[in-house]
Amino acid sequence: MNEKKEKVKILVVDDNKFARMSISMSLDSETYIFIEAADGLDGLKKLEENPDVKLIIADYYMPNMDGLAMCEEIRKKSDHKKIPIFMVTTESSKAIQEKGKQVGVMAWMCKPVDKQKLMHIINALNI
Fold of domain 8-124: Rossmann fold (3.40.50)
Please tell me the distance from the alpha carbon of residue 36 to that of residue 55, in angstroms, as a whole number.
12
Please tell me the distance from the alpha carbon of residue 86 to that of residue 90, in angstroms, as a whole number.
13
The pLDDT profile of the chain, 127 residues, written as one tens digit per residue, is: 445 578 999 999 999 999 999 999 888 778 999 999 999 999 999 999 999 999 999 999 999 999 999 999 999 987 888 899 999 999 999 999 999 999 999 999 999 888 898 988 888 887 7
Percent of residues in the chain assigned helix, strand, coil, to nearest 5 = 40, 25, 35
> pTM surpassing 0.75?
yes
Helical spans, DSSP H, in 27-65: 40-49
Say what angle helices 115-124 and 17-26 make with each other, to 10 degrees: 70
